[in-house]
Amino acid sequence: MKKFYLLILLSLAVNTVNAQQPCGTYEYETHLGAQFPGFTEALNQTREVSLHAIQRLSKASNDTVYRIPVVFHIVWNINKQNIHDSLIHSQMKVLNEAFRHTHNDTNKVRSIFKPVAGDTKIEFYLATKDPNGNPTNGINRVKTSRVDFGEAGNLFAEGVKSSSGLGVEAWNTDKFLNIWVCNFTFNGSIFVAAYAFPPTNAKFWSGSSFTTDNLQGVVVNYQYVGIKNPNDLSPTSLREKTLPHEVGHFLGLRHIWADKRNTCFGEDDGFSDTPLSNSASTIVNFNKNTCKETTNDKPDMIENYMDYTPYPNTIMFTKQQADLMRFNLLNLRSDLAELIVTKPPIFNYPQISVYPNPVQGELKMNFEKEGAYKVILTDMTGRKVVENMFELNGKFEHSLSTSNMASGVYHLSLLLNNEQVYKQRLIVQ
């Protein structure tokens, strides 16, 4: 299997060595499937579960924004690979504008797609503390003796993720989005600009089948980070739009054509608000409509970040793509998510305190009023996972064990005499 897969990749690279593609994530997933037994099946099942879950999502609070700490590992051999801080800061600006849909050209989304353009309510910031708690600017520069992280027999740069490969180990991938910036080519030519590791830690994954914690993150060639990177000489590059595309993969999105080869049949990206398409967009053609749908037919969404439309024309995620990324962040990469709540919890009856949050083990609740209470916990799909009734008579505290609950984000509600008196988001670790 592995030898057969390598022959396919080598043949593909030889035949298209001058045809650089912006993203190698699909090929990377195929590579991982060859390396780790069960990977492909589990990844496909994860996608099915996540897509099914977002169809059942109750309306989440639009006042909650999730922030992700980011570390850029700049692994360089010659000076031009050691890109300037300003490129990283400009890249962070683009990443946040893409995920919040706040960039200056949002008006260029065609009117037919404006109703489904989505704000993910996910933001990114350069880490301020390293894994040991020491101050950092979120930029980790490592000089290497390795000129090129391209590897014989495949299109990727996994050596950059370890000191044994003359790169650098990931910072805790449960706590940081790791982005490795380096030089990697295939036989001296850039074949893919970047690639990402998809979410993998769903509850049904077998931890014994493979180990991937140290691989989680994004790898990108140094030419494609930041606005007006002077090293980017490729006319087909997505430029600073490369990382929004790859972080979309990191949070579980597929290419909008689902990597089909000129067919409208077979797999799709799973979203009803991205029209069917049979191939990547490699030119700007607003009349492109590769798949005629029997109802509600629309042209290909060439402005979607998960297409290959030439720069600068990718300018939107859809609402369903946003829902999926939020669901995967909260359920498959939950330790990355830091909450910003722009409205305080409801305290519209007696004063109540619930702690700790995040919780691991016992959750404590303190009250100022006696009575018949009910505690309800629902997961992010709206499914009720806990419903307990308890009476407070002469005492003003109650506890709840979370030991048997899966890690993730939940909605907690407290009712007094069947009237809701408190609600809060709760993170279970």
Question: Using N-to-C axis directions, what is the helix angle for 25-35 and 39-55, rounded to 10°?
Answer: 130
pLDDT beneath 50: ranges in the chain: 1-18, 58-61, 208, 343-349
For the segment 388-416, what is each residue's pLDDT rounded down to a tens digit?
A: 898 887 777 888 999 888 877 788 888 88
CB 265 within 8 A of CB 275: no
348-428 has which fold? Immunoglobulin-like (2.60.40)
* Cα separations in angstroms, 261 against 52, 264, 265, 370: 25, 9, 10, 65
CB 33 within 8 A of CB 210: no
For the segment 196-247, what is each residue's pLDDT rounded down to a tens digit?
A: 999 876 655 655 455 678 999 999 999 999 999 999 998 889 999 999 999 9
Same fold, 2-338 and 348-428: no
What is the predicted pLDDT for the residue at 63? 58
What is the predicted pLDDT for the residue at 192? 93
What is the predicted pLDDT for the residue at 345? 44
Going from N- to C-terminal start, the domains of the chain cover 2-338, 348-428
Residue 207 has, within 13 A of its CA and on its CB side, a CA count of 2
The DSSP code sequence of 293-362 is: -SSS-----TTBTTS-PPTT---B-BHHHHHHHHHHHHHTSGGG-EEEESSPPB-SSS-EEEE-SSBSSE
What is the predicted pLDDT for the residue at 43? 87
What is the predicted pLDDT for the residue at 44? 85
What is the predicted pLDDT for the residue at 411? 82
Report H helices in 16-57: 25-35, 39-55
Six-digit token string for 319:
């609402």
DSSP label at residue 86: H
Q: Give me the architecture of the 2-338 domain, per CATH.
A: 3-Layer(aba) Sandwich (3.40)
What is the predicted pLDDT for the residue at 45? 83
* Residue 169 amino acid letter: E
CA distance 120 to 8: 36
